[in-house]
């Protein structure tokens, strides 16, 4: 698979997960991004996870 199409494959995988795991119709948004600061990325992902979990409860 060419690097330019990796994001499309991942998007399809996430859509499949959402379709099978969701209990109802929900909108999902998919954004392709790149990592430029590898030291800050784990911190950012933890913060994002916390935001998502708080919004879900």
Whether 28 and 15 have beta carbons less than 8 Å apart is answered as yes
Q: What is the pLDDT of residue 25?
A: 80
Whether 12 and 32 have beta carbons less than 8 Å apart is answered as no
Cα separation of the two ends of the chain: 38
Chain centroid, CA 40 distance in Å: 17
Q: Over the stretch 1-57, which tens digit does the pLDDT of each residue have?
A: 455 567 778 888 888 888 888 887 878 888 777 778 889 889 988 998 998 888 877
* 11: Cα within 13 Å, side-chain hemisphere: 11
Q: What is the pLDDT of residue 46?
A: 92
| pTM attached to this predicted model | 0.47
Q: What is the pLDDT of residue 1?
A: 47
Q: What is the pLDDT of residue 3?
A: 55
d(C-alpha 26, C-alpha 10), whole Å: 18
């Amino acid at each position: 698979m060419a690097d330019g199409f990796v994001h499309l494959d991942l998007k399809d995988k996430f859509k499949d997960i959402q379709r099978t795991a969701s209990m109802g119709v929900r909108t999902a948004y998919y954004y392709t991004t790149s990592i430029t600061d590898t030291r800050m990325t784990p911190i950012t992902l933890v913060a994002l996870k916390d935001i998502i979990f708080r919004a879900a409860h």
